[in-house]
Amino acid sequence: MTQTIGFLGAGRMAAAMIKRLLAKGYGVKVWNRSADKIKPLEALGAIACTTPADAARDVDVVMSFMADDTAAKSVWLDENGALAAMTNGAVAIECSTLSHGFVLELSQLITNGGCAYVDAPVTGIPADIEAGNTTFLIGAAADTLDRIRPILSDTGKKTIHFGPIGSGTVYKLMHNLLGAVHIAAAAELVAVTKQAGLDGNLVAETFSNGANASPSGLMTVPGMVSGNHHEGIHFTGALRAKDASYALALAQEYGMTVPVGQAAHDVFEKTTRAGLGDLAQSAVIETVAKS
């Protein structure tokens, strides 16, 4: 019998996950704030829903991929939110990158409502997710994780269980903050070498074959060199700034400061304030070049 999953969201990452689920034979009920984004998924077999509650009704698993805390709070907890319609004992799998404090708050509300919660942020870009090459960074009770392992195995290449609820989010936030540092530093490399008159394509090639190349840098340096931040957007500068702000708040929870991460956050915040936040995160070069 085909298992049907309720899904909240149909953005870039969510759509990729839904396509993977459909390809693996799952039924998927989908809600998204913009219904137009669901239409391509309907063509693949997904069922469009008019509210988050409709997507969550009569299923054992509800997955979510939202942009931030505000969006996640709305889809789970509003009057027509998913939680009110979830079957007792169902599992909420939250793949969004949310703040640690909100994950703990949301998970408590969901478990108090008779359901189980898993924080399961993922690695990679949409193409990785659709191909099943993502890694799930899990915070969950062991017995809850065991219940959903078949779904995670079908949709990703690896599941890493860091510990109880919230621990997957701890790792993901610091992982993404490190990415912000890599990208901001790569932007300085490109900006200074350009000012010095070096050939940008040669700089990019040399960087890609050097010891300091990172996946984040490899993904963004070509756009920095070309100045094309409008096409093939996998992750925006605004989302990078948001994740970095959540990571700084996480460090503060433990009485810590992260000055290098703070500097990277500030660069992405400046980029967003300059009106470039909806472009690819490579647009951070425009801010660095004008510093």
C-alpha span between 264 and 202 (Å, rounded): 25
Distances (CA, A) of 207 to 18, 19, 217, 219: 35, 34, 9, 12
Global pTM value:
0.95
| Domain 170-289 class, CATH top level | mainly alpha
- pLDDT 10s digits, 235-286: 999 999 999 999 999 999 999 999 999 999 999 999 999 999 999 999 999 9
Confidence check: pLDDT of 122 > 90: yes
Q: Do domains 4-165 and 170-289 have the same CATH topology?
A: no
* 198-228 pLDDT tens trace: 999 999 999 999 999 999 999 999 999 999 9
Q: Is 266 helix (H, G, I), strand (E, B) or coil?
A: helix
Tokens of 144: 């809850």
Q: With H, G, I as helix, E, B as strand and everything else as coil, classify residue 92.
A: strand
Q: Kindly list the domain boundaries of the chain, sorted by start residue.
A: 4-165, 170-289
Q: Which fold has domain 4-165?
A: Rossmann fold (3.40.50)
pLDDT tens digits, 59-103: 999 999 999 999 999 999 999 999 999 999 999 999 999 999 999
Give the Cβ contact number of residue 139 at 10 Å.
27
